[in-house]
Amino acid sequence: MKEELLQTEHGVRIALNHYETGHKEVLVILPGWFMTKDSKSFTDMAEAFAESFDVILPDARGHGKTSGAYTFTAEELLDVDAVVNFARNKGYEKIYLLGFSLGGALVVNYAANYKGVDKVIAVSAPYSFEKIENQMWRPEAWFMTVFRKMNLKQWFSIRPHPKGLTAPKIAPIDVVEKVEVPTLFIAGEKDPTVHAWHTEALCEKAICEKRFELFEKCCHAEDLFLQQRERFINVCKDWLLK
C-alpha cells in the first residue's frame, strides 16, 4: 500500500491509500463521517478486498490528511469525482464504489449524477440526511464505537464545516431512480444511526439491477464488516464479480 495525494481542481488536497495488487478492477471505498482511511476497520477491510481488487481508500474532506472541512455530503461529490478520475487515469478496466453511511449516500448520488463507474454498493445509506435518526445513546451504538472503533488520534483530525449541517444536500431518495449501474443495498437490522428502512426504501425505488441485503443483529456501516466479516466480504465480492 502507498499513500498518495490528489490535488483537485476545486482546491481540496485528498489523501488516499492505494492498494495496488495487480488487478484490472479497482474498488473505491468511501468511509462515512468520523472514519478515516487509517481507521483499523477500514485498513483491515481494504486488505481483505485487495485479494480480489486493487483498492483506493481516501480520506473525505475534513478528515485525516485531506484538507477542507466536511459538509455532510453537500460538496463531497466533487471529491468523489476526483478520486474516480484518479482511478480512471490509472487505466483500470472497471471501477466499483463501496460507500458507508454518508459515504453510502455519496455513492448513490454519484452514480445518479455522474458516469464512469460500473457497479455500486451502498451500506447503511440514508433516505435523506434530514431523516437520519442517529440514536447514538443506544447501548449497541456505544459498544461498537467505544470498544471496536475508537481511535482518538484520528477522531481529533475531523473538521466539520460550520455550515455543513444546514447546507443544502441531495437526498438519495430523490435521485436513486437515475442510477443505471447495478447497485447492492446493504443494511444492519439493529442500526441505531441509519435505521434499515432507509436503505431498503432506496432499493425499492431504484429501477436499476439491484438487491437488498439485511444483516440480522448487526449495527451500522462498517460494523457489518466487524460483526460478520466473512459474510460481508463474500456478499460484496459476489455482487461485484458476478
Residue 221 contacts residue 159 (beta carbons within 8 Å): no
CATH of the domain at 160: 3.40.50.1820
Q: Dihedrals φ, ψ of 72, to 5°?
A: 60, 40
Q: What is the CA radius of gyration of the chain?
A: 16
For cell 441509519, name the residue. 194
How far is it, in rounded angstroms, from Cα 194 to Cα 123?
A: 10
User: Can you tell me the mean pLDDT for 181-203?
Assistant: 97
Per cent of the chain over pLDDT 90 is 87
Mean residue pLDDT across the chain: 93
How far is it, in rounded angstroms, from Cα 13 to Cα 138?
A: 36
> In this predicted structure, what is the pLDDT of residue 135?
63
Query: In whole angstroms, what separates CA 1 from the centre of its chain?
Result: 19
Tell me how many helices (H) and strands (E) the chain has.
9, 8
How far is it, in rounded angstroms, from Cα 161 to Cα 64?
A: 14
| pLDDT, tens digit (0-9, with 9 covering 90-100), for 2-37 | 999 999 888 999 999 999 999 999 999 999 998 999
| pLDDT, tens digit (0-9, with 9 covering 90-100), for 149-178 | 557 677 788 999 999 999 999 999 999 999
> In this predicted structure, what is the pLDDT of residue 137?
46
3-state class of 16 per DSSP? strand
User: Can you tell me the mean pLDDT for 54-59?
Assistant: 98
Helices 40-49 + 229-241 axis angle, to 10: 50
* List of residues 6+ apart from 218 with CB closer than 8 A: 188, 189, 190, 191, 224, 227, 228
> In this predicted structure, what is the pLDDT of residue 154?
75
| pLDDT, tens digit (0-9, with 9 covering 90-100), for 91-143 | 999 999 999 999 999 999 999 999 999 999 999 999 999 999 876 545 555 55
> Per the structure, how many domains does the chain have?
1
Which of 31-35, 49-53, 181-185 is predicted with the least confidence, judged by mean pLDDT?
Answer: 31-35
> In this predicted structure, what is the pLDDT of residue 140?
57
Amino acid at 49: F
For cell 447514538, name the residue. 136
Name the residue among 219, 217, 227, 41 with its Cα closest to residue 134. 219
Name the residue among 134, 157, 149, 126 with its Cα closest to residue 222. 149
Count of C-beta atoms within a 10 Å radius of residue 4: 12
How far is it, in rounded angstroms, from Cα 157 to Cα 178?
A: 35
Domain holding 173, by residue range, is 2-241
Query: In whole angstroms, what separates CA 144 from the centre of its chain?
Result: 18
Count of C-beta atoms within a 10 Å radius of residue 95: 22
